[in-house]
Amino acid sequence: MNDKQKEAVIEVKDLVKQYADVTAVDHLSFEVYEGEIFGLLGPNGAGKTT
Cα separation values, 45 from 18, 31, 38, Å: 12, 23, 20
For residues 6 and 3, what is the distance between their CA atoms, to the nearest angstrom? 6
pLDDT digits (tens, 9 = 90+) for 16-27: 988 899 888 899
Residue 2: pLDDT over 90: no
Whether 14 maps to a domain, the answer reads yes
Whether 25 maps to a domain, the answer reads yes
Task: Please tell me the total count of domains within the chain.
Answer: 1
For residue 11, the one-letter residue type is: E
Whether 12 maps to a domain, the answer reads yes
| DSSP percent split of the chain into helix, strand, coil, nearest 5 | 5, 50, 45
- Using a cut of 0.85, tell me whether the model's pTM lies above it: no
Residue 31: pLDDT over 90: yes
Domain that holds residue 12: 3-33
Whether 47 maps to a domain, the answer reads no
CA dihedral (45, 47, 48, 50) positive or negative: positive
Cα separation values, 21 from 17, 18, 24, Å: 11, 7, 10
Whether 44 maps to a domain, the answer reads no
Whether 43 maps to a domain, the answer reads no
Whether 49 maps to a domain, the answer reads no
